[in-house]
Amino acid sequence: MTSVKIFSTGTCPICDKAKALLKKWGLPFEEIRVDQSQSGLKEMLVVSNNARTVPQIMIKDKWIGGFTELTELHMDGELDDLIASANG
């Protein structure tokens, strides 16, 4: 089961950077294209407290925010713990 979910669009360069980082770190993820899925957009709005920008990233059932928050979690050493708790 994929514990990382990224809400994105097809024209978002920051989304591409976030997905590239997740791949580099070996973290499988589910991508939900909010520009192609009305239900995906609705889900993103609910979990992110109505965020209007992409990417929006969830780990398990916890919304972490966007690209900046993802990289901050990694730099602070907290991403590994979050992933481990999501998979354990």
Domain that holds residue 29: 4-87
Stated pTM of the model: 0.90
CATH code at 22?
Answer: 3.40.30.10
Mean pLDDT by 10 residues, the chain (88 residues): 88 97 92 97 96 95 94 90 70
d(CA 71, CA 80): 12
Check residue 3 and give its pLDDT.
86
Domain count, the chain: 1
What's the pLDDT score for residue 33? 98
Sheet of 29-33, strand order: 29-33, 4-8, 56-59, 62-65
